[in-house]
Amino acid sequence: MKEELIEIGKRIKELRLLNNVTSESLSRELGVDLTIYEKYENGEVDIPVGVLYKISRKFNIDLTAIITGEEPKLKEYCVVRKEKAPLIERRKEYKYQDLSYNFSHKRAETFLVTIEPKKDEKRTKYAHQGQEFNFVLSGRMKVVLNNHEIILEEGDSIYFNSSLSHSMTALDNKDVKFIAVIIS
């Protein structure tokens, strides 16, 4: 995963430099402290999906291209066969599979997310621009929005303002799988 972070950081830095944008101005625009932003570019820390999404929108490039280094090619439709979605290791506690990775100029990011149970229930909270929709396929999970806890079971869904601080936790000592759609 460390090598992946370094490669993503290099791609972001290259985009920034090609567009004559300073790290100071980009960090301000992203709402991220300059020191943290520089760690993103150096591959020292994980970059939240919301930040990557903002960068992709700013530079008019697909999120997939930033994460994988390959530009999506499909413009009419994109079929991803069962168990063929690429695994995107964005955060240690969440496993993302990109369900629309090869579709060009998406208006939303779609993921199959798996969360394994964690003995230490404390999760890092994230916030990013836009809105998010989660639909639970299997298992049960606790969603924390700001400090409000919501329990979701198989078949339940939630749609929320993703600028709210949020985290998800698997319950019952079992994996939870859900579809996440992130809309800017």
Confidence of residue 149 (pLDDT cuts 50, 70, 90): very high
**What are the structural domains, with CATH classification, of the chain?**
2-68 (1.10.260.40), 87-183 (2.60.120.10)
**Whether residue 161 has pLDDT greater than 70:** yes
pLDDT digits (tens, 9 = 90+) for 87-145: 776 666 788 888 988 888 888 889 999 999 876 667 778 888 789 999 999 999 999 99
Tokens 């000592």, located at residue: 173
Give the three-class secondary structure for 115: strand
Per residue in 5-61, pLDDT tens? Answer: 899 999 999 999 999 999 999 999 998 999 999 999 999 988 887 788 889 889 988
- Spatial contact of 141 and 167, defined as CB atoms under 8 Å apart: no
Residue 1's pLDDT band, with cuts at 50, 70 and 90, is low
What confidence score (pLDDT) does residue 174 get?
95
Burial annotation 32-45 (CB, 10 A radius, 16+ → b, else e): beeeebbbbbebee
Asked if residue 27 lies in contact with residue 33, where contact means CB atoms within 8 angstroms, the answer is: yes
pLDDT at residue 164 tops 70: yes
Exposed/middle/buried for 50, CB within 10 Å: 0-12, 13-18, 19+? buried
What distance in Å separates the CA atoms of residue 7 and residue 68, rounded to the nearest whole number? Answer: 9
pLDDT confidence tier of residue 179, bands split at 50, 70 and 90: very high
Q: Which of 97, 96, 111 is nearest to 180 (CA)?
A: 111
pLDDT at residue number 89:
62
Q: Is the pTM of this model over 0.85?
A: no
Per-residue pLDDT at 65: 87
The per-residue pLDDT for 92 is 67
Q: How confident is the model at residue 184 (pLDDT cuts 50, 70, 90)?
A: confident
DSSP E strand boundaries for 57-156: 87-91, 94-98, 108-115, 131-138, 141-145, 148-152
Give the contacts of 79 (CB within 8 A, at least 6 positions apart): none
